[in-house]
Amino acid sequence: MKKIVEGAVICYNVLSHHGIDSITIPALL
């Protein structure tokens, strides 16, 4: 379970660096 959380954090950080904000991310899920 911990690795899943770490993976999600990494994905979030990568998307954030590409200019995808917190409004767009839930829409992709």
Residue type, 17: H
pLDDT for 12 equals 79
Question: Rounded to an integer, what is the distance from CA 28 to the centroid of its chain?
Answer: 10
Token pair of 15 as six digits? 């998307």
Q: What angle do CA 7, 3, 1 make, to 5 degrees?
A: 120
Q: Domain locations in the chain?
A: 1-29
pLDDT digits 0-9 by tens, 1-29: 789 889 888 887 877 766 666 666 666 66
pLDDT for 27 equals 65
Alpha helix (H) residue ranges in the chain: 2-17, 24-28
Q: What angle do CA 17, 20, 26 make, to 5 degrees?
A: 130
